[in-house]
Amino acid sequence: MKRYGKWAPLVVFILLGSALTYGLAKPDTTNIRSKMIGASVPSFTLPPATAGLPGLASSDLATGQPHLLNIFASWCVPCAAEAPQLKAIAEAGVPVVGIAVRDRPEALGRFLARNGNAFRAIGADDASQVQMAMGSSGVPESFVIDGKGRILSQVIGPINPQDVAGLVAAVKAAR
């Protein structure tokens, strides 16, 4: 019996460590509820991010027409992967606007030429201030904005092909 007693603290430690690891690795939910949902888009005015497209201001998002706002960057690999889905959303009649985070105009121009341009306007957020004010933690992220400039939903990460129909419906219903 004494032989097993000296191993008891190690067994208890391993069991506790395993339980804690399992609890941290398997959260209750993978959905993150943004505190920005239902709030108005923060006030901002961004200059054009690249030649040929206008910049973006918060007032552009409160014109009575809903939008899909995409926060992205030319250096972001998942942003390139979601480009065909953004194009499909735009072709379905949804106004898509963008905020380019910490990007250079020439790099952004090459990105749009290579991956297609679904955007009506792209603002340059060189210091990530608007990105942070929107509650965005990275790129890509997309927001459904209603015609009054309120945030209705947030998509964290790239838009996948199976997400397109739902986003088109959400934006069209956001009048």
Give me the average pLDDT of each 10-residue run along the chain (175 residues).
74 84 65 80 97 96 97 97 97 97 96 97 97 93 96 94 96 90
Residue pair 78/91 in contact (Cβ under 8 Å)? The answer is no
Q: Write the CB contacts of 155 (distance below 8 Å, at least 6 apart in sequence).
A: 141, 142, 143, 163, 167
What does the alpha-carbon distance between residue 165 and residue 9 come to, in Å, rounded to a whole number? 55
What are the residue ranges of helices labelled H in 26-98? 77-91
The whole-number pLDDT of residue 16 equals 86
The whole-number pLDDT of residue 36 equals 87
Residue pair 129/45 in contact (Cβ under 8 Å)? The answer is no
Domains delineated in the chain:
45-173 (3.40.30.10)
The whole-number pLDDT of residue 56 equals 98
Strand partners, 153: 144
The whole-number pLDDT of residue 28 equals 59
The whole-number pLDDT of residue 1 equals 54
The whole-number pLDDT of residue 18 equals 83
